[in-house]
Structure 1
Amino acid sequence: IEKTVPVWHPDVRYFELEKGGSIIGGVYMDLYAREGKRGGAWMNDYRGRRRFVSGSRIGQTQTPVAYLVCNFTPPVGGKESRLSHDEIITLFHETGHGLHHLLTQVDELGVSGINGVEWDAVELPSQFMENFTWEYDVLAEMSSHEDNGAVLPRGLFDKMVAAKNFQRGMFLVRQMEFALFDMLIYSQSDKGRLKEWPQVLENVRKEVAVVQPPAYNRFALSFGHIFAGGYAAGYYSYAWAEVLSADAYAAFEESGDIKATGKRFWMEILAVGGSRSAMESFKAFRGREPQIDALLRHSGFDVEAA
């Protein structure tokens, strides 16, 4: 439900989520690009869920509020904004983070919502939501031609899927190369890390690379993720979160009761935040540890043939 509240720009809109007449949380949506605005897209928390144990609000529950910020093409010439498919993917991705924060049922601030969730699992809900943008029925409901109102043609959608999966195997192998190098280089001593990294990288490439770079290649010197981007020994989280999200989405593909599966996803993944380990939460939802089959299938591989 949209509510009128003070905002920092006319483009910003505020919505509250309600269930059974009670407010679950709120979200500020700042979706359009403008001069002076930071680029990119992100979800951040304004406040988290907590139950007050002292003071004038003792016993009351603070509901979570999130920011959802993007840089989409703004409406021009009096027309509605038309988002590209890439922008839709971004919107669904950040919405996944928002749902993770807003649908928590944990009352301890430090582990409610997105707080306290392990780095290699915090992208599960966001990447999970991206799967819906590759469902034709979903896009058919939300797409329309600007002039004639026609929905996205099925043939064009099939070409989009084919383009998404083009050389997907090469991409995954490259991610494995980066992740293994990252993990191994941080397993060296401080002194050895500086002296032996070329040999570490060469050994990894011999194991997993399909195309060997030339000897003068110095990729590692510009691998900012692991030296200045906060991913030190954690780059693997990109691929691991994809495994988790694809396997979680597969539960819905396999389910005969989507509503019950959705409620279980809420209660076992979204609701618990960082109050227990991500692996415990995943197993509580899926009934087993993660498997890679769904990611391979969503990437266009013939899992049964493999």
Structure 2
Amino acid sequence: MSIEKHYETGESLPEDIYRKLLASRTFSAGSLSLRQLRFACVDLELHRKYVPGGPELIYDVDKRMSKTTQLIPPLPEDWFLGCFSHIFAGGYAAGYYSYKWAEVLSADAFSAFEDNDEKGKFRVLQKAVKETGHRFRETILALGGGKAPLEVFVEFRGRKPSPEALLRHNELLPVSASA
């Protein structure tokens, strides 16, 4: 049984519905990324520059950070920081950025497997994927905390991490003219 067929009638999923399902995968990806970046920027800014009792309230810091991470300014009554327990009670102090950074690393590592895609050359692809999997096992999995994480990633990927794969997977890069 295949997922694109109705479980009772066997009728295939119409192409237009299939396309809508694909498009929904990345719906609001830009807005959601900006939201995570806002949280991370506020967290880092509060831990880097904020002076308790100083001239700026934590809410002022949030509003200032929102100017670069939101398309629509927050409402005057937006006091989300009052319940942002991740950075005040959850042990993420100055580490909220790790959510987005983990997405970058994950997408970039996965793209190492995508780089093997040679259309029409299944045996070549199969061998390349196996080699990439082996390299992943011998670096990311085997070295773990034995080396600095950046060193391990560079050993696996052959370069520093790049956000390009995450942006591509979320369809946030411009479509090239040749596509």
> Same fold, TM exceeding 0.5?
yes
Residue 165 of structure 1: SS of its match in structure 2? coil
8 Å contact 1:182–1:232 — kept in the other structure? yes
* 1:216 is the counterpart of 2:71: no
* Equivalent residue, structure 1, for 2:157: 286
Q: Give the alignment of 1:237-276 within 5 angstroms.
A: 237-255=98-116, 256=125, 257-276=128-147
8 Å contact 1:296–1:303 — kept in the other structure? no
8 Å contact 2:108–2:163 — kept in the other structure? yes
Partner AA of 1:296 in structure 2: L
Give the CA deviation at 1:301. 2.2
Give the CA deviation at 1:174. 1.0
Give the CA deviation at 1:146. 8.2
In 2 relative to 1, CA 189–302 (structure 1 residues): closer, same or farther, beyond 3 Å?
closer
8 Å contact 2:153–2:161 — kept in the other structure? yes
8 Å contact 1:246–1:294 — kept in the other structure? yes
Identity of aligned residues (%): 38
* 1:167 is the counterpart of 2:38: no
Give the CA deviation at 1:160. 2.9
Partner AA of 2:129 in structure 1: I
Give the CA deviation at 1:238. 0.7
Q: Could you list the runs of 5+ residues in structure 1 that have no partner in the other structure?
A: 1-139
In 2 relative to 1, CA 233–203 (structure 1 residues): closer, same or farther, beyond 3 Å?
same
Query: Alignment RMSD, CA only?
Result: 2.7
8 Å contact 1:182–1:234 — kept in the other structure? yes
Partner AA of 1:282 in structure 2: F
Residue 38 of structure 2: SS of its match in structure 1? helix
* Equivalent residue, structure 2, for 1:301: 172
Give the CA deviation at 1:154. 8.0
In 2 relative to 1, CA 218–290 (structure 1 residues): closer, same or farther, beyond 3 Å?
same
Distance 1:239 1:191 in 2: 27
Distance 1:154 1:290 in 2: 39
8 Å contact 1:180–1:204 — kept in the other structure? yes
8 Å contact 1:186–1:193 — kept in the other structure? no
More helix by percentage: 2
Partner AA of 2:27 in structure 1: F
Q: Could you list the runs of 5+ residues in structure 2 that have no partner in the other structure?
A: 117-124
Q: Provide TM-score, normalisation by structure 2.
A: 0.80
In 2 relative to 1, CA 235–200 (structure 1 residues): closer, same or farther, beyond 3 Å?
same
More strand by percentage: 1
* Equivalent residue, structure 1, for 2:46: 185
8 Å contact 2:5–2:13 — kept in the other structure? no
Give the CA deviation at 1:300. 1.3
Q: Provide TM-score, normalisation by structure 1.
A: 0.48
